[in-house]
């Protein structure tokens, strides 16, 4: 049973797509209809179960995407999902163009990543997990153009990253001199064990998270940290305009809450050090093995999604959207009079001086 009629597959996006995004959407749909992008049924990544309840049949772009929730543990997942071979091609050919809406990487994209790096570093520092650590070796999976790594490098860290998008990797490597490459954990060569591994809005894309976590566990130093940031199912009010459907995109295989993520990590030999429901979280390896305990999130997640759907029908505009309106209007005005780039450059100079 899906959450509502608007979650049924009809091919209609719920957001405005530019010409490039529309072209990529049609290209993906064609590959799916022709069987070029194949799908497969998988067991639940957390509990291994197969008792699944259907929530949605499409994503925000209007692409076919069967989203289900595990009745045993509460993990939301795309199932059936595209195979690894299909996803590898999708990420290299269509993903960034569909998601970003641009043909090639830009300095604005890199700068946005750099700002994300600043936020991540502050979260780590404020939580105290960086205390007593210096000259960190940082490894990022799904680094894009490498803007996050650039921020950490500016803080004296040794950095390395991998991504499946070749164009973005080339941009960061050639434009900013970063040690990043196109590849996966199976193909990357590390000269030393990382002290910190970063997954920023990437872990929800991983098809085999249990195998991925075991590889990371073997890579990390004994005191190594694993930072995972993901779009959260329970953060729809702030970031997704009270709309679960806006969270869904075909590139996301798993849709976590802090509890379901912690369940997955604990079963793979990690314990949580700090985290919030946004989700920003830090884990470390458990000494003595993995935990088999699972705290089901099924009832809490369904209750939350039901409340969100009801709230959306009654009052679809969030407080955060109201607060952003003056800023959006100001940016649109600057764009209209041709002053946006000049004001942005002045702001960046002032910020860098500080």
Per residue in 213-269, pLDDT tens?
A: 999 999 999 999 999 999 989 988 777 888 999 999 999 999 999 999 999 999 999
Residue 340 lies in a domain: yes
Residue 330 lies in a domain: yes
Q: Which helix (H) or strand (E) holds 112?
A: helix 107-127
User: Is 222 within 8 Å of 285 (Cβ atoms)?
Assistant: yes
The pLDDT value recorded for residue 181 is 95
Residue 64 lies in a domain: no
The pLDDT value recorded for residue 11 is 96
Residue 120 lies in a domain: no
The pLDDT value recorded for residue 110 is 95
Task: Give the count of domains, the chain.
Answer: 1
The pLDDT value recorded for residue 50 is 83
For β-strands 270-275 and 280-285, DSSP reports them as antiparallel
The pLDDT value recorded for residue 353 is 43
User: In percent, how much of the chain has pLDDT > 90?
Assistant: 72
Domain range spanning residue 338? 317-354
The pLDDT value recorded for residue 319 is 46
Strand ranges (E), the chain: 39-40, 52-58, 64-70, 76-78, 81-82, 137-141, 158-163, 180-182, 196-200, 225-229, 254-255, 270-275, 280-285
Residue 343 lies in a domain: yes
The pLDDT value recorded for residue 354 is 38
Ranges of the chain whose pLDDT falls below 50: 319-320, 352-354
Residue 88 lies in a domain: no
User: Is 219 within 8 Å of 212 (Cβ atoms)?
Assistant: no
Residue 354 lies in a domain: yes
For residue 144, CA distances in Å to 72, 211, 219, 254 come to: 35, 22, 21, 20
Residues with Cβ within 8 Å of 52's Cβ and at least 6 positions away in sequence, in order, are 44, 68, 69, 70, 71, 79
Q: For 283-313, write each residue's pLDDT tens digit.
A: 999 877 777 788 999 999 999 999 988 888 7
Q: Helix 340-353 crosses helix 319-336 at what angle (to 10 degrees)?
A: 110
Residue 334 lies in a domain: yes
Distance between CA 254 and CA 25 in Å, rounded? Answer: 21
User: Is 293 within 8 Å of 266 (Cβ atoms)?
Assistant: yes
Q: CA 8: distance to chain centroid?
A: 24
Max Cα-Cα span within the chain: 62
Specify the DSSP class assigned to residue 266: H
Q: Helix 107-127 crosses helix 166-176 at what angle (to 10 degrees)?
A: 80
The answer, yes or no, to whether the previous bond of 336 is cis (omega within 30 of 0) is no
């Amino acid at each position: 049973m899906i959450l509502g009629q608007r979650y049924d597959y009809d091919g209609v996006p719920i957001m405005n797509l530019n010409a490039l995004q529309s072209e990529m959407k049609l290209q993906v749909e064609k590959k799916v209809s022709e069987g070029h992008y194949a799908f497969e049924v998988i067991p639940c990544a957390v509990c291994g179960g197969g008792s699944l309840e259907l929530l949605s049949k499409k994503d925000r772009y209007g692409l076919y995407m069967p989203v289900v929730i595990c009745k045993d543990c509460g993990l939301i997942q795309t199932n059936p999902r595209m195979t690894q071979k299909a996803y590898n091609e999708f990420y290299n050919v269509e993903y960034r163009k569909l998601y970003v809406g641009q043909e090639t990487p830009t300095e604005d994209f890199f700068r946005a990543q750099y700002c994300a790096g600043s936020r991540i570093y502050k979260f780590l520092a404020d939580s105290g997990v960086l205390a007593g650590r210096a000259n960190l070796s940082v490894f990022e999976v799904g680094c894009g153009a490498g803007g996050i790594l650039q921020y950490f490098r500016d803080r004296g860290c040794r950095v390395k990253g991998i991504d499946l998008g070749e164009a973005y990797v080339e941009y960061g490597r050639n434009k900013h001199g970063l040690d990043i490459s196109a590849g996966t954990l199976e193909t990357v060569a590390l000269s030393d064990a990382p002290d910190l591994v970063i997954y920023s809005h990437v872990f929800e894309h991983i098809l085999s998270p249990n195998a991925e976590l075991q590889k990371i566990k073997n890579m990390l130093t004994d005191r190594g940290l694993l930072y995972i940031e993901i779009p959260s199912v329970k953060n729809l009010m702030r970031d997704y305009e009270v709309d679960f459907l806006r969270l869904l995109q075909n590139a996301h295989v798993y849709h976590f809450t802090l509890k379901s993520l912690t369940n997955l990590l604990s079963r793979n030999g990690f314990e949580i050090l700090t985290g919030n429901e946004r989700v920003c979280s830090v884990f470390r390896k458990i000494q003595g093995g993995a935990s088999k305990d699972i705290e089901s999130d099924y009832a809490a997640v369904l209750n939350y999604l039901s409340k969100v759907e009801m709230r959306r029908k009654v009052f679809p505009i969030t407080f955060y959207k109201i607060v952003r309106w003056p800023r959006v209007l100001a940016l649109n005005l600057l764009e209209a009079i041709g002053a946006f780039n000049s004001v942005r450059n002045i702001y960046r100079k002032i910020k860098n001086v500080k």
